[in-house]
Chain A
C-alpha cells in the first residue's frame, strides 16, 4: 500500500527564517515524489519532483527537497521564507499511474 504522511498540519514562521516541511512516505516499490503548493482559491502547482538521480532536488521559488530512502522521507526546505510563501504545501507520491497526496501543511509566514 502507498501512503504519504505530513506530520505538521500548520507551520508558523517569521519572514526570512528557514523552514522545513516534513514528509514521510510508505511504499513497497520505487516511487516518484513531489511537492505541490496551493495558494488560496487556486489549484495545486508543482514545486519540485524527484524521479531519480541526485537525492537533492531544487524547485521553484528557492525551495529544495532531499530524498532519503533509508528514512523514507522527502522533506521540503527553504533557507529564507517570504510573506508570499504563505500557502498550503502537499507532498505526493506517484506509483502505478496514481498520485497519492498527503494531508497538507499550511505554512504561515509572519512579518
Chain B
C-alpha cells in the first residue's frame, strides 16, 4: 500500500488566495483526520471524518477553513481567503478505527502564506 498521500507537499501563496490541500487515505480506512502543526501550537486536530461524514469540526479555526470528503478515497481541506497566520504543515491521517490504536500519517503539506 502506498500509504496516505497528500498533495501538494509544498505550497507558497499570497495572502487572500484560495488554498486547497488534498489527501488520499489508505484504502479500507474508515476514519480520516486533518491536523495542523506549528511551532507555537504543536499538533492540532482540525476535523475528522468517519465513513466520509464529518464527525467533529470543532478544531477548525474559523469559517475560512472548510473540509470535504466526497468519497472514501479523497478529502480536501480548503482555506479561503488565506492569511499569513495559516502558515503551517497540514497533515492528513487515516485509521481503520481509532480504537485499534494507530493513525497513519501522510508526509504533510507545508503551506506558506506571504
Question: Chain A: interface secondary structure?
Answer: strand
Q: How far is the CA of A96 from the CA of B43 in the complex (A)?
A: 18
Summarize B's interface: helix, strand, loop or mixed.
Answer: strand
Interface size counted on chain B using CB atoms at 8 A:
21
Kindly identify which residue among A97, A101, A102 contacts B48, using a CB–CB cutoff of 8 Å: A97
* Interface size bracket, A side: 20 to 34
Task: Kindly identify which residue among A32, A41, A43, A101 contacts B101, using a CB–CB cutoff of 8 Å.
Answer: A32
B60 lies within 8 A of chain A by Cβ: no
For A99, list chain B residues within 8 Å (CB).
Answer: 33, 45, 98, 103
How far, in angstroms, from A103 to B103 measured CA to CA in the complex? 17
Which residues of chain B come closer than 8 Å to A32, judged between CB atoms?
Answer: 99, 101
Task: Give the interface of B toward A (CB within 8 A).
Answer: 4, 31, 33, 42-43, 45, 48, 50, 55-56, 91, 93, 98-99, 101-103, 105-108
